[in-house]
Each structure stands twice: as C-alpha cells, then as structure tokens.
Amino acid sequence: MAHDSAYIDLPPVSFDTAPDRYHHWKLAVDGSVATLTLQVDRDAPLRPGYDLKMNSYDLGVDIELADAIRRLRFEQPQVRCVVVTGGVPKMFCAGANIKMLAGSAHGFKVNFCKFTNETRCEIEDATEHSDQRYIAALNGTAAGGGYELAECCAEIYLIDDGFSAVSLPEVPLLGVLPGTGGLTRLVDKRKVRRDVADVFCTKAEGFRLRDALKMRLVDGGWPKSKWDQAIADRSQAIVSAAAGAKTEQGIALPPLTRTQTREGETETLTWPHVTLKILHDKRWCELTLRGPNEAAPASAEALQGQGAAAWSLAAFRELDAALLDLRFNYPKIGLILLRTLGASDAVLAHDTAISQLRAAGSWLAREIQLHQSRVLRRLDNMSRSMFALIEPGSCFAGTLLEIAWAADRAYMLDDPDGANAVALGSVHAGTHLAHNGMNRLQIRLYGDPKGLAKVQATHGAVDAATAESLGLVTRAPDDIDWEDEVRLAIEERVSFSPDALTGMEQNLRFAGPENCDTKLFGRLTAWQNWIFQRPNAVGERGALPMYGNPQAPVFDWTRT
C-alpha cells in the first residue's frame, strides 16, 4: 500500500477495528451500564520495538478506545453509565508508552497526542449530549496519560489500597508536558487551584486517595473490600438519575469500504461518498464529498431502517476516515482542496429531516448530528492548509457549507450563467459548534454583528457576488481570472514553510474567546510541538531517551 509516511517505515496506520478484534480493551454491556476495561496486551504494540508494560498505551490502544466510544453511542444507546477501569493489578494505566514516544518521529508524536485528545473530547461530548456518563474507576495507579484519561470522565474514583495514586509525572521524569490536556483539564475543568496543580505536576510519585481528595484530583474512593460494590452502586445511581433504564435500539456500524489506486505520482482513495486524490509530486490533494442521491428519511423509523447507510452518517464517517488517513499516512501533503459534488437542495433536505427528527426525540438523529459536529471539529484541527473550491456542480449547502467555513480560504467562481451558488440552511444557527463553543458563522464574522445578522436573515441559494459581499467566501473571481487565481494561490501556499503555516493557521482558526478545548489543542500545537523537538526532551541525553537509564538526563539550563 503506497504512502509517503515520514513517521515510520511501516505500512500505513489503520483505524479500522471492532470489539472482536480489540487487543487492549474489553467492552461489556449489562443493560444501562457498560464497562470498558483496559487490559493492554504488552506484546501487541502498533509497531515492533517496544513492550506495552504497566498497562501503558500507544496509538493502537487509543484507536480501540475511540472505536468503543463511538459504538456505545450508536450501537448501545440504552447505556447511561460507562465505567472505565483497569484489568491489571494495582495499575490502572501508566500513560503513554515511553519507549514508543522515544522511538517515534516528531510528527507522529504530535499527531498521536492530537488523536488521543480528540478521543477524550468525545468522551466528554458523550457525557454532555448523549446521556452516557463516564466514570473513571481507578482500581490502580493512574499516571500521566492514565490520569488524563480519567480527567475526561465526569467522575473519578480512586481505590484506597495504600499503594494506588494519581500523578502527572511528565515534567520531572520526561521533560515534556502532559500531552493530552492534563494541565488544562486540571485547572479549567476540575478547578484545581493553580499552586496546588503546580505541586501535583512536579511530584513524580503523585498522591494517594487522602491527599488526592484534598487537592480535588479525584471525587471519592473506597477501600478494596468495598470497591466493587461501591462502583456498582454509583453506576446504578447514575442510571436512576437519568430517569432509569432506556430501551433505544442501536444500529450496527459496519466497516467502511474503500478502494485504492495509484498512477504515477497520483494516488486515489475512494469511498462511496468521498474521494481523496493525492498528488504526491505537488504536495497537495483534492478531498471531494458527494451529496445524497436518495430521498431524505421521512420518519424516525425510516432513519432507523437506513442505519449506518444513511447519507448524513455514512458520508461523515468516510470523511473522518479520509482526514485520519491524511493526518497519519500522508504527512508531506500540505494543502487540502475541499470540493463537493451534488445537489444543494438534496443536502438541505437531509439536514432538515435530521434536525426535525432530532427535535422530535430521535436518538439516532441526535447522534448523527453530534457525529457530524465532531468530524467538522477534526477538520478544524487539521495541521494542513485548506482551501474550499466552489464551482458549478458543487453542493456547498447546509452542513457541507460548514466545511467551506472550516477552510482557511474559500474560492467561489462567479459564473456568468449564474449556475454557481452556495445555500444557507438552519444548521448554521448553532447545530455544529466549533471547539470554542461558537458556530462557524460567528467565528467567521467575529466583530461584525451587523454582518452576522444580515447573513442570519439570508436563506437558501446565494450567488458568488452576494456570497463575497456577505463574507461567506474569501474571493469570487470571474471565469476569466478563476483558473489563474486559484493556481497561483495553490502554488504559493505549498511553497511556504509548513511550520510557519501550522502556527499561523491554528492561531487564526478560532477567533473569539478561548475555552478548555481551544486551550487543549492550541497548547498541543504550539507548546508541545516545540517541546517535543528540544534536545532537553529528545536529544541524545534528553529525558525521553534516558528514561529508565541509570544515568540522569543532561539539560541545557537556558530559559527561552
């Protein structure tokens, strides 16, 4: 399988998995309570060269976790409480595997941290929006990324066995930061006082239950003799608080189908609704999403019957797969050209149907829209330049127009025949929020309340000239200038420093106030990206390579 990965000299990373193929997680469902047990197979790393000791994790462990979270939302919607616990005595999770981090190229490390962050955000999203409350039942020590996994749960309980503790030891032991949001969730989410957090993050061994409770690092705990019953009682209390057991019938999430071809320097990945055309020699790609051909579902029963084949779900599952393929397997592709094909009216009809069914109480319609929102946020987080190209035959309408607004620029052909238009729909009012809690129109027109009100009063098809005047697109060249202007913009973009572009794009994409999520990804992109390249962390005598070595790391003590 062809790819241009600069990360590892191995086959591309695959995100296709299912519970019967899990190596590291056990998923058990008992009515309204699900249990996710982390029991890492130390001999089944994503790639050879390290053992997953002490229930530590690599990308493969988190790929399974992400799959389990999504399956619980779609396949087990009756679940109201998810217990995340460990299957190894005295060790819930030791965090990210250090040998894996030390042996990975820089880009892989950063994307690994980004993916684990997105997975943890989905746990929080499921708790907030899907009535599936996650609790961390730490029946052993939770260190580093293990405690970060606990932090994304709504409640954290630690066993009182005289041994188990919680810790964030990255600063004293590894010379890096907690890479999946540990610091930010500590003070922004759990409201731990910052001087207390400072003590916690510099004490490698962490704190056991008594002190962890005082510091608000956990929400409670019990001795080993009472542990199992106490967790069971708490789970049932959560179910009761959610109005008791539910009876929703889930849908299956079958594997996605994809074909792959290559002719010279052009590689094409094709799903039923998405095509990813990669031009290796030019360092850019075309990502095309096709609109629906079938009629929108007329009832909750019809949507349930379509299941995972429903366009609104299937197309965004495929888009998600394409984005992850690009992120991990094609790091040299620096620019994504976003295209759509189809009828705008059909897209709007599906958006309207899903919104109406959600308002009428359809759990599946709700989960479809939440999934679309999550994939759009994954698009926001791409460390690639993105240009939307809006031409006749496009269907940048409703939810698909959100894709154009996620892009760094949107070019729209001012067609003399008037055949080119974008179409505004009801979903722009707040159905799909970005990480900062704002919708993409608010972000786009931040600081222009009159312009925002004018757009919000506009409905249906909008031609190129009007779209440019309303601020919906960046440029609307006519048919004489279109080809040259787009070509020059592409050629210029791929000539710039990728490091400078990543920093620039991530600073510009989330206008407005920060919140916990934007801090998570902003700090990951800037600070952790930088720290992971510093000799103090990854040099010959840096903290990561020297971990487990009797010799201490050697630091350059200069502050910058």
Query: Is the distance from CB of 528 to CB of 176 less than 8 angstroms?
Result: yes
Query: Is the distance from CB of 340 to CB of 364 less than 8 angstroms?
Result: no
Residue of 122, 124, 148, 402 marked active site: 148
Tokens encoding 488: 């020059």
> Any catalytic annotation for residue 483?
no
Residue of 64, 118, 155, 170 marked active site: 170
Q: Is 364 helix (H, G, I), strand (E, B) or coil?
A: helix
What count of residues does the chain have? 560
Residue 81 dihedral angles phi and psi, to the nearest 5°: -135, 130
Measure CA 235 to chain center: 27
Task: Count the Cβ atoms, other than its own, within 10 Å of residue 524.
Answer: 23
User: 360: which residues sit within 8 A by CB, 6+ positions away?
Assistant: 300
User: 427: which residues sit within 8 A by CB, 6+ positions away?
Assistant: 351, 355, 369, 398, 399, 402
Phi-psi region of 74 (alpha: psi -120 to 50; beta: other; left: phi over 0): alpha
DSSP 267: E
Residue 59 exposure: Cα atoms within 13 Å on the Cβ side: 22
Report d(CA 359, CA 125) in Å as an integer.
19
Q: What share of the chain is helix, strand, coil (3-state, %, to 5)?
A: 45, 20, 40
Q: Which of 247, 453, 524 is nearest to 363 (CA)?
A: 247
As a whole number of Å, the CA-based R_g of the chain is: 24
Report d(CA 433, CA 402) in Å as an integer.
10
Q: Which of 70, 62, 42 is nearest to 113 (CA)?
A: 62
Report d(CA 53, CA 43) in Å as an integer.
9
Name residue, tokens 């994307």: 111
Query: Is the distance from CB of 384 to CB of 323 less than 8 angstroms?
Result: no
The stretches of 179-280 forming alpha helices (DSSP H) are 182-184, 194-201, 209-214, 224-241
Q: Is 156 helix (H, G, I), strand (E, B) or coil?
A: strand
CA dihedral 475, 476, 477, 482 (to 10 degrees): 90
Q: What is the DSSP string of 484-516?
A: HHHHHHHHHHHHS-HHHHHHHHHHHSS-S---H
Residue 489 exposure: Cα atoms within 13 Å on the Cβ side: 21
Residues facing 133 on adjacent strands: 81
Report d(CA 494, CA 504) in Å as an integer.
14
Report d(CA 289, CA 273) in Å as an integer.
6
> Any catalytic annotation for residue 170?
yes
Report d(CA 139, CA 91) in Å as an integer.
7
| Residues with active-site annotation | 148, 170
